[in-house]
Amino acid sequence: MTLGVKRQLVEAGIDPDAIPMDWLEASVAATFKWMSETSEGGLHGANILELEWFRGDDGNQYKIHDHQQQAIRSVKSEDVYFLRGAVIEGRTVPFSQVSSSRKENESCDCCGINSHCTKDIRDPSLDRMERLCNNCMIKHEHPKVRDEGDQSRCENCTVLTCPNNPARERRA
């Protein structure tokens, strides 16, 4: 983290030889401690990261599970803050600026699954267009069709209800 801060200072025009590393390390450590251990610092950090924050609901009971001490203790709702934000393309973005909608699922002509990862491709062995899911493209007999698939797409997919998602096997 200190090297990242130093890089930012240098990019801002500060002479790198004028930045004492021990002071930089101490400043970064103190800032991190302030932001992670005080409500003022935590809320300041949330604002810097453009996170929305809201206080715990007085109608709810909150408990914190301390796994190190193996203890559970009650916390007042006024001492609970929830944060919500987004990181898009490596940058923080206010959650209120993000919108999403469900992708339309389409049926795979090979296995029949309804999925968001289908793609219309020409099957050279049949000489016709087919809509195939990523999994069927990966396992297809023809190399040109296999090239259209991407194993990492299934491995990184967040749709855990899909029977082709490898993460389903790890959860079972």
Strands (DSSP E) found in 43-143? 52-55, 62-66, 71-75, 81-84, 86-88, 91-93, 106-107, 114-115, 119-123, 128-132
- 3-state class (DSSP) for residue 131: strand
Judge whether 113 and 133 are in contact, CB under 8 Å.
yes
* Count of C-beta atoms within a 10 Å radius of residue 162: 20
| pLDDT reported for residue 167 | 82
* Count of C-beta atoms within a 10 Å radius of residue 121: 19
- Encode the chain (172 residues) as per-residue pLDDT tens digits: 888 888 888 999 988 888 888 888 999 999 999 999 998 898 898 888 889 888 999 999 999 998 888 889 999 999 998 889 899 999 988 888 999 998 899 999 999 999 999 999 998 988 999 999 999 999 999 999 999 999 999 999 999 888 888 887 665 5
In one-letter notation, the amino acid at residue 35 is M
| pLDDT reported for residue 170 | 62
Tokens of 43: 């809320």
Judge whether 86 and 93 are in contact, CB under 8 Å.
yes
Q: How far is CA 46 from the centre of its chain?
A: 17
| pLDDT reported for residue 11 | 92
**Structure pTM?**
0.56
